[in-house]
Structure 1
């Protein structure tokens, strides 16, 4: 599944010349945590989010006081003052936002969100803004995802589980045996840790046709 399959195509944005108050109103009205900033030529020039508004003087916590004085340079204190007091979106927004192409994978988007600690990413196509992808969109993809398609029959299920166990599960190289009887998957082998055992169970459960997983590890006896 790609970004273009789950992204929000109706983009709600603000102008760099809009007020911070207006940006906050748009976020509240549309139930979003951030909006792209788009100039008069339709170009993406930044993004303004809840995080950009956490140190506003309207909240009664001036940024200069929060910086703690001596530990920060005059330039840092000046930037913080602008961030907490400016009324124009252009002065408060985050410039050079992380963006993603519409044909990018959801795994790539998830990685970017984790790496940069962000909730929403503008989606581009040939330099133009065409959508927004958010954490909520990734959750929707999880809800609508289907289990792997597997040919009917216990042997086909067994082969599919074996393949799954070798795919970045932490179980690579482990001496494991899989048997499937009437849709019940039996896992055998020397798997020492609880997390590895959990990974094996999850890998088996994610194969279509598996109705139950039974674990047989050394302490249980084969």
Structure 2
């Protein structure tokens, strides 16, 4: 599946000249935790999210400065003050956000979210914002995912399991024997590591047509 298959294409946005209060109200009314900031020409300028607002002055953010905060350079402390105190979205948002192309895979989206510690990523088509992909969208993709469309039949199941055992599963070095009878997959071979035995079972279970898995590992 690609990002464009799961993204939210109805975009709720705010202007850089909107107030932080208005941005917070928009998030609450639409039950979202972050929204893109777009200028009058439709250019993506940044994102403002719950993470940008949790240290706001309205919440007493300046009262909880850590020793690390106080030791930061004056420029960084001044920027932090502006972000937590300015009423304008433009100065409270996270500028130049990470983006992703609509034809990227869900795996790429998940890796970007993990790498940058973000919950949502603006989706771009030819440089224009066309949607937002969020962690919730990835969860929905997991819920609606179908089992592999392998043709039915014991021989086909055996071939499919064999191929998938070698697809970055950690099992590539093991000589695992596979036998299938009436949809029941029998796995055997010298595999002493519990995690590897578990991974082999899950590989077999993920193939369409499998009725059960029996572990004969030694």
- Please say whether Structure 1 and Structure 2 have the same fold, judged by a TM-score greater than 0.5: yes
* Distance in structure 1 (CA, Å) of the matches to 2:68 and 2:109: 35
Q: Secondary structure at the match of 1:47?
A: strand
1:217 is displaced (CA, Å) by 1.5
What is the aligned residue count?
A: 218
Equivalent residue for 1:194? 194
1:67 is displaced (CA, Å) by 5.5
Contact persistence 1:64–1:81 (CA under 8 A): no
Equivalent residue for 2:19? 19
1:184 is displaced (CA, Å) by 0.9
1:173 is displaced (CA, Å) by 2.0
* Distance in structure 2 (CA, Å) of the matches to 1:64 and 1:90: 24
* Distance in structure 2 (CA, Å) of the matches to 1:6 and 1:101: 13
Q: CA RMSD in A?
A: 1.3
Moved more, 61-70 or 39-48: 61-70
Residues 1:204 and 2:195 are matched in the alignment: no
Equivalent residue for 2:45? 45
1:86 is displaced (CA, Å) by 0.7
Equivalent residue for 1:34? 34
Q: Gaps spanning 5+ residues in structure 2: where?
A: none
1:62 is displaced (CA, Å) by 1.0
Equivalent residue for 2:126? 126
Contact persistence 1:64–1:77 (CA under 8 A): no
Distance 1:165 1:85, change over 3 A: same
Q: Secondary structure at the match of 1:210?
A: coil
Q: Secondary structure at the match of 2:179?
A: strand
Equivalent residue for 2:71? 71
Equivalent residue for 1:166? 166
Q: Gaps spanning 5+ residues in structure 1: where?
A: none
Q: Secondary structure at the match of 2:94?
A: coil
